[in-house]
A = this chain, B = another copy of it.
Amino acid sequence: MTAVGYVHGYSEHEARRLGDQADTLAALLHTGSVYPAGSRVLEVGCGVGAQTVHLVTAGPEAYLTAVDVSEDSLAQARARVAADAPTATVEWCRADLFDLPYGDAAFDHLFVCFVLEHLADPQQALAGLRRVLRPGGTITVIEGDHGSAFFHPDSAGARAVIDQQIRLQSAAGGNALIGRQLQPLLARAGYADVVVRPRTVYADRTRPSLVEGFTRNTFIAMIESVREDALAAGLTTPADWDWGMADLSRTAEDDGTFHYTFFKARAVNP
The answer to whether A87 has its CB under 8 Å from any CB of chain B is no
- CB-CB under 8 A from A196, the residues of chain B are 202, 204, 206, 257
Interface string of A198-218 (1 = CB under 8 A from B): 101010111000000000000
Can you list, as one digit per residue, whether each of A221-259 has a CB less than 8 Å from chain B (1) or not (0)?
A: 000000000000000000000000000000000010101
Query: Is the pair A255, B184 in contact by a Cβ cutoff of 8 Å?
Result: yes
Contact indicator B152/A200 (Cβ below 8 Å) = no
CB of A69 within 8 A of chain B?
Answer: no
Question: Nearest chain-B residue to A257 (Cβ)?
Answer: B180
Known: A195-B206, A198-B259, A204-B196. A180 touches B150 (CB 8 A): yes
| Residues in B neighbouring A147, C-beta threshold 8 A | 150, 154
A148 near B148 with CB under 8 A, answer: yes
Q: Does A183 reach chain B (CB closer than 8 Å)?
A: yes
Kindly state whether residue A23 has any CB partner on chain B within 8 Å.
no
Count of chain A residues with Cβ under 8 Å from any Cβ of B? 29
Total identical chains: 2
Q: A205-B183, A255-B184, A255-B187 are in contact. Are A200 and B150 (CB under 8 A)?
A: no
A151 at the A/B interface (Cβ < 8 Å)? yes
A148 touches B259 (CB 8 A): yes
A interface residues (Cβ-Cβ under 8 A, vs B): 145, 147-148, 150-152, 154, 177, 180-181, 183-184, 187-188, 194-198, 200, 202, 204-206, 255, 257, 259, 261, 263
19 other contacts beyond A148-B259, A183-B204, A200-B261, with CB at 8 A cut-off? A145-B150, A148-B150, A152-B180, A152-B181, A152-B184, A180-B257, A180-B259, A183-B255, A183-B257, A184-B255, A187-B255, A188-B255, A194-B206, A195-B206, A196-B202, A197-B202, A198-B200, A198-B259, A200-B200
